[in-house]
Amino acid sequence: MKTHTLASAALAALLGLAGSLPAQAAETESAMARGGRLYDKYFGENKTAKPDTDHAAYPKGGKYVKDASWRCKECHGWDYRGKDGAYGKGGHATGIVGVRGAAGKDPAAIVAIMKDATHGYTDKQLSAKDMTDLSLFISKGQIDVAKYVDGSNKAKGNAAKGEGYFNTICAGCHGLDGKKVKDGPALGSVADNGAEMIHKILNGQPGEGMPALRMLDTQVAADIATYMTSLPKQ
């Protein structure tokens, strides 16, 4: 009798798990993808006004001023490694830390960082939901991109597999040559930035109906990004 009760309790627990957890996980994944798009360009995603002043923490004399200086990626990088990653040198260099160290941090503490004196994001710029999605992305949704790119930020993947993925998932919108979206660049011209490609493939493009592939193995994104480097540059 006892065993039977235990067994049914276990079964109920299992059914409960099967019934609720995957749905919850899926919801979290979509919130994290949205957080990733806000990290990319929040005003492209939430359609708030573009800031017309430079972000106070952006280095004076830097190249990416006004609205560009407010994008999380501008200070913290597509590889989330700031000065220790691809933005350690070149036109985008700011000398600012990455956000890898905040992976696993309590999302509420990350919300507090976005509102702190250094960051100064207001609720007109980022709503409570925006802040939640962003904090989920930083805490649980960022990946260790360094595993998928080489030292010069080129994606490390299987180009032959990537071609199959690209032609079936992406080409409907972007064309087999990556040039079909009229208001965007030829994808071949931006593909050398491996970390940016992987970020956009996993999370989508801010404000656009582009899919977010983050539920798939990250290697799929790396394979696609590798193939994209062979697409026409213009």
Binding site for ligand HEC (CB under 6 A): 55, 57-58, 69-70, 72, 74-76, 96-97, 99, 101-102, 110, 113-114, 118-119, 121, 134, 138, 169-170, 172-174, 181, 183-185, 187, 190, 197, 200-201, 205, 208-211, 213, 224
Which CB, 121 or 148, lies closer to ligand HEC?
121
Supply the minimum distance, in Å, between the C-beta of residue 63 and ligand HEC. Answer: 13
Burial per residue of 99-110, b for 16 or more beta-carbon CB atoms within 10 angstroms, e otherwise:
bbebeeeebeeb
Rounded CA-CA distance 154/156 in Å is 6
Which CB, 16 or 172, lies closer to ligand HEC?
172
Which CB, 13 or 66, lies closer to ligand HEC?
66
Supply the minimum distance, in Å, between the C-beta of residue 143 and ligand HEC. Answer: 15
Supply the minimum distance, in Å, between the C-beta of residue 164 and ligand HEC. Answer: 12
Q: Which of 119, 123, 142, 139 minimizes the C-alpha distance to 131?
A: 123
The residue whose two tokens read 């990653």 is 85
Which CB, 2 or 53, lies closer to ligand HEC?
53
Neighbours of 147 (CB within 10 A): 10
Supply the minimum distance, in Å, between the C-beta of residue 55 and ligand HEC. Answer: 4
Tokens of 225: 């990004």
Which CB, 2 or 183, lies closer to ligand HEC?
183
Rounded CA-CA distance 39/169 in Å is 24
Supply the minimum distance, in Å, between the C-beta of residue 150 and ligand HEC. Answer: 19
Residue 87 corresponds to which amino acid? Answer: Y
Q: For 148, how many CA atoms within 13 A lie in the half-sphere containing its CB?
A: 27
